[in-house]
Amino acid sequence: MEIQIRRAEATQLKKKPADESKLGFGDILSDHMFLMDYESGKGWQNPRIEPYHQISIDPAAMGIHYGQEIFEGLKAYRGTDGHILLFRAEENFKRMNRSAQRLCMPDVDIDLVMEGLKKLILLDQDWVPGLRGTSLYVRPTVLATEPHLGVRPSKTYLFFIIIGPVGAYFKEGLSPVKIYVEDVYVRAAVGGVGDAKTAGNYAASLLAAEKAKEKGFTQVLWLDAAERKYIEEVGTMNIFFAIDDELITAPLDGSILPGITRDSVIQIVRDWGIKMSERSLSIDDVIAAAENGRLKEAFGTGTAAVISPVGKITYKGKDHVVAGGNMGDLSQRLYDEIVGLQYGEKADTHGWVQRID
């Protein structure tokens, strides 16, 4: 399928942010977007790049009412040599197709959307910021559009990709976050949609996150839905604990999101010869390890923040300082390695980095 390109007129072009050191997250979007339409029986059609614009949706569109919506989040980086780099981008579209399957939505042709993404970024390449720590955030999305007020899978969908420059995800930058162990609300249960990147999971997480923020915490640590006992994720990141000489993260048992940063961390620490376990870990074991000095460090992982060190964990009203409230050595080493790869500075032994210009 040929991707049609309609460029924005000079008068439609937006003003680019003047100061890259002040970029936030998620407010600024570039001049163009990629779109295509799906119709049952015909498949995906009309892949195109157009000036960024509002989309019009029927008020009865099924995605609005019944939550058939999936998305991805990835980044393009301005490498140290000036070229534009993608990090494991195909993995995001593979995951999008797994999310699609869970929500009875059509999958996409990965080669086609990768081509669309690259063409979009090249067209808007002046929007890729150059300052270290900044990047171009990429948000692919699929939404059910058929107007019908009955519950069943939609017969039509819209796929789009929007992009925009971002700075650091957390206001604190790399400084350690304070997390609140949530033992009332849950994010997802095994058998549900916790392992799909779908809108409802985030709506379900907001109340706990807002309450934690009111109490001065940055993020919520989620426990399993059945027993409120085992560690799942932190906010919208996967989480790792270094206890003694073992690095531990929750297994992919269906309720957690299979993070690509999570997978990168697992592969890298195994390369480094560090003992890496994907296994269930109870909050009681974490707290006991924190109390007797065996918890060396803890960190969240995700595309937005890469590595987000945990400085304090609060469980049942008691605070536990982690790594002296600082960024641990392993967190720092992993951050340097992954960011070094993303900006094209470190040797890419896994074939994760792709230059697009």
Ligand X SMILES: *Cc1c(COP(=O)(O)O)cnc(C)c1O
Compute the C-alpha angle 41/43/48, nearest 5°: 145
Structure tokens at 263: 């997978």
224 part of the interface to ligand X, by CB under 6 A: no
Of 303 and 342, which CB lies nearer to ligand X in the complex structure? 303
Of 145 and 303, which CB lies nearer to ligand X in the complex structure? 303
Residue 61 per-residue DSSP state: B
CB of 12 to ligand X, least distance (A): 31
301 part of the interface to ligand X, by CB under 6 A: yes
133 part of the interface to ligand X, by CB under 6 A: no
Of 49 and 117, which CB lies nearer to ligand X in the complex structure? 117
255 part of the interface to ligand X, by CB under 6 A: no
CB of 302 to ligand X, least distance (A): 4
The site string for ligand X over 68-97 (x = CB under 6 A, - otherwise) reads: -----x------------------------
Q: Which of 303, 308, 331, 342 binds ligand X (CB under 6 A)?
A: 303
- Between CA 70 and CA 144 the distance in angstroms is 9
88: left (phi over 0), alpha (psi -120 to 50) or beta: left
Of 257 and 322, which CB lies nearer to ligand X in the complex structure? 257
Q: Which of 156, 238, 249, 255 binds ligand X (CB under 6 A)?
A: 238
Q: Which of 75, 178, 262, 312 binds ligand X (CB under 6 A)?
A: 262
Query: Which segments of 164-297 does DSSP mark as H helices, in order?
Result: 199-214, 260-271, 283-291
Of 262 and 312, which CB lies nearer to ligand X in the complex structure? 262
- Please spell the DSSP secondary structure of 189-223, one letter per residue: -TTTTTTS-BHHHHHHHHHHHHHHHHTT-SEEEEE
CB of 316 to ligand X, least distance (A): 24
Q: Which of 257, 310, 327, 339 binds ligand X (CB under 6 A)?
A: 257
Of 218 and 261, which CB lies nearer to ligand X in the complex structure? 261
- Between CA 229 and CA 134 the distance in angstroms is 37
Of 196 and 323, which CB lies nearer to ligand X in the complex structure? 196
Long-range contacts formed by 42-48: CB under 8 A, 24+ apart: 43/106, 44/1, 44/106, 44/108, 44/109, 44/112, 44/159, 45/1, 46/4, 47/1, 47/2, 47/3, 47/4, 47/112, 47/116, 48/3, 48/4, 48/5, 48/6
**Contact stretch for ligand X (CB under 6 A) within 27-35, 174-182, 297-305, 321-329:** 297-305
Under 8 Å between Cβ of 70 and 141: yes
The residues of the shown chain that bind ligand X, judged by CB under 6 A, are 73, 197, 233, 236-238, 257, 259-262, 301-303
